[in-house]
Structure 1
């Protein structure tokens, strides 16, 4: 299957560092790197709903500090394949049949970033889907608390919002 990717404003650092369709390649600037450098604590909160194969997702990135983050990339992986055509906002790109990555923009120490909003279509209409969220590129900061930037959310096809 050929996946067409249209990139508009995707995190240049993630692309330059080797983020590809298979995931992350390389070592510098990626989440979980324990090398020296400024320390930050990235987290993601939001809501997601599923209604007859249509996904509505809102994610707000947060940096609990103590250092600012110039930019980061969050990976959104679905348990079911996405429909072939998607309309993605600036700063987001599809990198696989089930994966979208989005830039967070700059995050001040102990600050909240701009909300990322996506409306996606799944291939078919599954009765449930899981969403895995996680940082894949963090601009070179050290994040020692990986528990709050990796999440798995079960979303049932009810049209109800599931908060994380």
Structure 2
């Protein structure tokens, strides 16, 4: 799991206890025969967060094109506004959680870029965003 702190228009990603990297969002998830990472960016302004990321599959097995196979879970430290307009393939899964379908990925492959904008309840000055992969077994 990777965590990104979003403050104003700046983003900081913490990579497993390593020094923060400015301007990127990274996440990682491991399944039985697949290892996914997410690379992208996030920007926040006036209680709205725009997130864009691309899944990368490091193998060894493939990821099938199934909504249950691999899903990226995005969790915010602040509650989301009640109404959200999410892109196709993404769904709200609680007060602070959105899930997005990853789609099929061959070993060593790069998936389609995903972009979403969410509204936070109120207008907090910062928010933590966590990325992780949920596998069909509930991982």
TM-score (norm 2): 0.71
- Output the aligned Cα RMSD: 1.9
Aligned to 2:9: none
Give every structure 1 segment of 4 or more consecutive aligned residues whose post-TM-superposition deviation is greater than 6 Å.
none
Q: How does 1:114-153 map to 2 (within 5 A)?
A: 114-137=112-135, 139=136
Deviation sequence 1:17-71 (CA, Å, 0-9, x none): xxxxxxxxxxxxxx6566xxxx221111110011010110001111011221114
Which consecutive unaligned segments of at least 5 residues does structure 2 have? 1-28
Q: How does 1:83-98 map to 2 (within 5 A)?
A: 83-98=81-96
Bigger radius of gyration among the two: 1
Native 8 Å contact 2:71 2:100 kept in 1 = yes
Aligned to 2:78: 80
Aligned to 2:99: 101
TM-score (norm 1): 0.61
Matched, 1:63 2:61: no
Which consecutive unaligned segments of at least 5 residues does structure 1 have? 1-30, 144-164
Distance, in Å, in 2 between the alignment partners of 1:32 and 1:113 is 16
Deviation sequence 1:93-144 (CA, Å, 0-9, x none): 001010000001001110000111101110111110000000012x57xx9x
Native 8 Å contact 2:30 2:36 kept in 1 = no
Which structure carries more relative contact order (alpha carbon 8 Å, separation 6+)? 1
Distance, in Å, in 2 between the alignment partners of 1:109 and 1:73 is 16
| Structure with the bigger percentage of helix | 1
Aligned to 1:14: none
Deviation sequence 1:69-98 (CA, Å, 0-9, x none): 114101000000001100011111001010
